[in-house]
């Protein structure tokens, strides 16, 4: 049973436009969420995170939005650049339960020039 779901396996966006990657979760105990980025032949690298006490966190071109009532989070990349082409993984954890990170299936983002 997939507790963290990324329902779009792939996404294609024009350079300079906004990229929106979505993630849904089913476990209401999750209270910390992260996005990782992965290039081919490399390991995932941390991108941005958000705690459940917030509904938005911004870091440069990257913004993560959290909608707790809908159990949904999204990653916005503005403006999108060719170097953003990668696989993006959403992950969640439960702080108090010391639960290990649970990852989504990943979304492959392609930025077209």
Partner 1 sequence: DAGITQSPRHKVTETGTPVTLRCHQTENHRYMYWYRQDPGHGLRLIHYSYGVKDTDKGEVSDGYSVSRSKTEDFLLTLESATSSQTSVYFCAISEIEGPTNEKLFFGSGTQLSVL
Residues engaged in binding partner 1 (CB under 8 A): 4, 6, 32, 34, 41-46, 49, 51, 89, 91, 93, 95, 98, 100-106
Listed in sequence order, the residues at least 6 apart from 54 whose beta carbon sits closer than 8 Å to its beta carbon are 66
| H or E segment to which residue 62 belongs | strand 62-67
**CB of 65 vs partner 1, minimal distance in Å:** 18
DSSP designation for 39? -
Q: Which is nearer to partner 1, 48 or 79 (CB)?
A: 48
Q: Which is nearer to partner 1, 70 or 98 (CB)?
A: 98
Q: Which is nearer to partner 1, 49 or 79 (CB)?
A: 49
Residue (of 75, 81, 80) closest to 104 by Cα position: 75
């Amino acid at each position: 049973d997939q507790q963290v779901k990324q329902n779009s396996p792939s996404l294609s966006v024009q350079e300079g436009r906004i990229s929106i990657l979505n993630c849904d979760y089913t476990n209401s105990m999750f209270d910390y969420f992260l996005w990782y980025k992965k290039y081919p032949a490399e390991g995932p690298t941390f991108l941005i995170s958000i705690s459940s006490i917030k509904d938005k966190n911004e870091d440069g071109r990257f913004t993560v939005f959290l909608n707790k009532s809908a159990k949904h989070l999204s990653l916005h990349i503005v403006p999108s650049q060719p170097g953003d082409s990668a696989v993006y993984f959403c992950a969640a954890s439960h702080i108090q339960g010391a639960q290990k990170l649970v990852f989504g299936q990943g979304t492959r983002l392609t930025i077209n020039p």
